[in-house]
Chain A
Amino acid sequence: MTAVVDAPDPPGQPPRSSRPPLWRDVRVIRVVLQVAFAVAVVALISYLYSNLVNNLTDQGIRTDFGYLDRPAGFQILGSDFRAAQSVSDALLVGLSNTVSVAVIGIVLTMILGIIVGVASLSSNWLVRKAATVYVETLRNLPPLIVIVFMFTAVILRLPRIEAPAEWFDLAIWTNRTISIAAPSLDAGSGGFLLALVTALVLAAVVWIVRTRHNARTGQPHHRVALSGLAFLAVVVLAWSLTGRPLGIDRPEVVGRQLEGGWSMSANYAAVLFALVIYTASYIAEIVRGSIQAVHKGQTEASLALALSGFQRLRFVILPQAFRIAVPAIANQFLNLTKNSSLAIAVGFAELTQVTFIVIGNGNPAPQSILLLMFAYLFLSLVIALFTNIVNRRFQLVSR
């Protein structure tokens, strides 16, 4: 077709005579087709929508969102949510549970994934093979199976509440709740909190000063040690001056439940651990692949500079590997977040389960599912936003 358009004009003829008729003009066809396609999509969606609304109306099912203000009627494990609160509050509790799994899960997954990924490139045969077996096993299981296995075969086999297992009064675990000791502040410890903030600021200042010093003079910065020291010094001083307000909140068995400390329900633990070990197997593969994608010459060059094994990894290989890995890892973060909906299989009240409970209690399904989809879309976009920022930062490093 382009041959017609691009055909050289015969001498003496006006160029417009080479224009093909409208129905064969590629530019017109393109526009017409796109408009037609858009109209078709809109028509299809409006057909489906009116079909839905009409059928729901015929069956006497409401099509508005008024049900969100009605009392929920049920309660949710591990939250202060009460039956008299509204359906929308229940959904928000579910959303916060989903976010909790996603955020903590992403942090733990990253740590585990990088360790396993680096281990699978270790020169130690045992470490390397162990990492390979881990990755190949977990990666080839459906996540639902991992979650159900984690719940029924691991978490439910923990000691019963009647005979809890504990570790130096610092952690107690049962098949209802897993709890670890947490720092606690006495009442009226505002001065100490202020000191804590001051210590953080001081540590940051030390960090920046040492980094600049290092950049200017090339001398070692020791910024981790120095800023850590500054932080600790201020905190300890403030702690003794303000009357030692910082204690330890130890978990203990009260009646039929664990109380105190940082605790998570066994169902939450099952979902979190299962998703972490599952997703970490993918992260490990991405880390391994990205490290191997860094050119061999980089390793050889750093060897020639007499960098140690750790320095080689920290300053030469990983910064380049991460630039390759970030987009792929971002994908896995999204997967982890979305897979958290499988928690419905083990009774953890994240967003999907709460939505299904709401539907089961006589509230309309289409609106609820629509809200559910928007919530996951929103979460995914937020994660994508963060990973894009990280990605851009890593890209800027390359010159």
Chain B
Amino acid sequence: MRWLAVLAVFVLVLGACTGDDDDAADTPDAPDNNGEDNGDGPSETIDLVQDGESVLASVQDSGVVVCGVNDAVPGFGFVDEDGNFSGFDVDYCRAIAAAVLGDAEAVEYVPLTAAQRFTALQSGEIDVLVRNTTWTASRDGGEGAAFATTTFYDGQGMMVRADGDIGSIDDMGGASVCVLSGTTTELNLATVFNARGLDYSPLSFEDNDTLREAFIAGQCDGWTSDKSQLAAVRSAYPEADGGPESLTILDETISKEPLGPAVRDGDSAWFDAVNWAVIATIQAEEFGITSENIDDFTTSDDPNILRFLGEPDPEEGTVADPGLGLDPDFAVNVISQVGNYGEIFERHVGPDTPLGLARAENDLWTNGGLLYPPPYR
């Protein structure tokens, strides 16, 4: 009987192997990743499995965008009492779904920790990562990520208790500093303190909730993170512990943190789709198109606006298709269902929200900001 069991295992193993091969054989005509064929049998098969189709096609097939997000930063990615995700980053997941599928609600959210996020992206567990992720060279290179247009220009700051004796980072010699582990923030912290010759004790936590507990309990003197995140945390600081007024965010900005969506390297079709979903929100604000007034613009006299909204050109009668693999009217879906950049900003992080952030760098180039959409033509 024992050899029967062995045989059964053997058959199962074989079955698993051939099963994979069948999957590969199903897509024989799929384009190879970059035409590279080194004649190596197994590698060729595997390339087909991995890169047989763009994520764009698989998303359009499945009808849902799997989006890696944060679930603990109010204003950017947060789960409310009803279990719904909301926030600035979450709205960009919705914008991508609106652009690709025409339905902003066709998103499956996967909450990720900072340390998990790139593995989740590399392994294909998520289609796109929109989780306060800083665009850096080593992430672009080593992590196999490709960053689309920046959605939020941020900088790292330090939050301390207002009643303490800390007025700047120079006062923080020997301090304990809370930081999220596996982030650029953690690296910048070491760089800044070492550059100033200051000693410090890093308390690096895996998730924001434990970090917040430790900060409230007084385990650390400072909390360093992107300033927008600090503003979010400060806005939600419990009244029982002194409320937002008991905390100060120091004026110093110790790093550049451009945050934006990231996709896997080597999938240009999907990258373009994500990128232009983001650009569409900025372009809409530049044109002055909002979710409220978009209907007025479909009869605009401006050919640029008509082209952007996928309306036929008044003279030639043709609809422009820039070949992004998206519907010509994808921008209409994005703007009507999610809104333009300004609307998204005001809704989640603007002056009327608990975060109360000013537009500053995140304003249009015409207003002195850094948002500069490439022309849609």
A30 interface residue per 8 A CB criterion = yes
B206 interface residue per 8 A CB criterion = yes
B174 interface residue per 8 A CB criterion = yes
Which chain A residues in 326-385 approach chain B with CB under 8 Å?
344-347, 349, 353, 356-357, 359-365
B43 touches A361 (CB 8 A): no
A40 touches B14 (CB 8 A): yes
* Shortest beta-carbon contacts, A-B, top 10: A360-B182, A59-B144, A83-B190, A362-B138, A156-B217, A160-B218, A356-B115, A360-B115, A347-B205, A255-B174
Instruction: Identify 11 new A-B residue pairs, CB closer than 8 A, beyond the known A58-B33, A74-B202, A365-B118.
Output: A33-B10, A43-B17, A58-B47, A74-B204, A77-B204, A161-B218, A256-B176, A356-B182, A357-B182, A360-B115, A361-B182
B202 touches A75 (CB 8 A): yes
A365 to B117, CA, bound (A): 11
A-B contact pairs, 12 of them (CB 8 A): A37-B9, A47-B20, A55-B50, A73-B191, A74-B190, A76-B202, A83-B187, A256-B175, A257-B176, A347-B181, A356-B182, A357-B115
Given A75-B202, A161-B218, A176-B176, A33 and B3 touching (CB < 8 A)?
yes
B219 interface residue per 8 A CB criterion = yes
Binary B-proximity of A29-64 (CB < 8 A = 1, otherwise 0): 110011011001101100100110011101111100
Which chain B residues in 127-143 approach chain A with CB under 8 Å?
136, 138-139, 141-143
A246 to B187, CA, bound (A): 42
Q: Which residues of B contact A54 (CB under 8 A)?
A: 42-43, 46-47, 50
Which chain B residues in 182-230 approach chain A with CB under 8 Å?
182-183, 186-187, 189-191, 194, 200-206, 210-211, 213-214, 217-219, 221
Q: Which residues of A contact B176 (CB under 8 A)?
A: 176, 256-257
Q: Which residues of A contact B20 (CB under 8 A)?
A: 47
**Closest chain A CB from B243 CB (angstroms):** 19
**Closest chain A CB from B113 CB (angstroms):** 9
**Closest chain A CB from B8 CB (angstroms):** 11
- Most B-side CB within 10 Å, residue of A29, A37, A362: A362
Which chain A residues in 78-96 approach chain B with CB under 8 Å?
78, 82-84
Size of the chain B interface, CB-CB below 8 angstroms: 61
Q: Can you name the residue of chain A whose Cβ is closest to the Cβ of B51?
A: A58
A82 to B199, CA, bound (A): 10
B122 touches A61 (CB 8 A): yes
**Closest chain B CB from A185 CB (angstroms):** 26
A19 interface residue per 8 A CB criterion = no
A55 to B121, CA, bound (A): 13
Q: Which residues of A contact B206 (CB under 8 A)?
A: 344-345, 347, 353, 356
B265 touches A60 (CB 8 A): yes
**Closest chain B CB from A151 CB (angstroms):** 8
- Find B139's partner among A34, A151, A362 (CB 8 Å cutoff): A362
Binary A-proximity of B71-99 (CB < 8 A = 1, otherwise 0): 00000000000000000000000000000
Binary A-proximity of B332-356 (CB < 8 A = 1, otherwise 0): 0000000000000000000000000
Q: Which residues of B contact A141 (CB under 8 A)?
A: none
- Find B174's partner among A257, A356, A359 (CB 8 Å cutoff): A257
A179 interface residue per 8 A CB criterion = no
B119 touches A59 (CB 8 A): no
Which chain A residues in 252-282 approach chain B with CB under 8 Å?
254-257, 266-267
Q: Which residues of B contact A254 (CB under 8 A)?
A: 174
**Closest chain B CB from A176 CB (angstroms):** 6
B6 interface residue per 8 A CB criterion = yes
B221 touches A256 (CB 8 A): yes
B266 interface residue per 8 A CB criterion = yes
B46 touches A55 (CB 8 A): yes
Q: Can you name the residue of chain B whose Cβ is closest to the Cβ of A41?
A: B13
Q: Which residues of A contact B143 (CB under 8 A)?
A: 61, 362
B6 touches A364 (CB 8 A): no
B56 interface residue per 8 A CB criterion = no
- Find B43's partner among A50, A157, A347 (CB 8 Å cutoff): A50
B50 touches A175 (CB 8 A): no
- Find B266's partner among A59, A82, A148, A151 (CB 8 Å cutoff): A59
Q: Which residues of A contact B114 (CB under 8 A)?
A: 360
A152 interface residue per 8 A CB criterion = yes
A151 to B16, CA, bound (A): 44
Given A73-B187, A347-B210, A256 and B264 touching (CB < 8 A)?
no
Q: Which residues of B contact A347 (CB under 8 A)?
A: 181, 203-206, 210-211, 214
Q: Which residues of A contact B144 (CB under 8 A)?
A: 56, 59-61
Q: Can you name the residue of chain A whose Cβ is closest to the Cβ of B20?
A: A47
Q: Which residues of A contact B217 (CB under 8 A)?
A: 156-157, 160, 175
- Find B122's partner among A75, A76, A257, A365 (CB 8 Å cutoff): A365
Q: Which residues of A contact B6 (CB under 8 A)?
A: 33-34, 37
Q: Can you name the residue of chain A whose Cβ is closest to the Cβ of B12?
A: A40
B288 interface residue per 8 A CB criterion = no
B238 interface residue per 8 A CB criterion = no
- Find B190's partner among A33, A73, A365 (CB 8 Å cutoff): A73
Which chain B residues in 46-71 approach chain A with CB under 8 Å?
46-47, 49-51
- Find A59's partner among B7, B10, B264 (CB 8 Å cutoff): B264
A327 to B90, CA, bound (A): 52
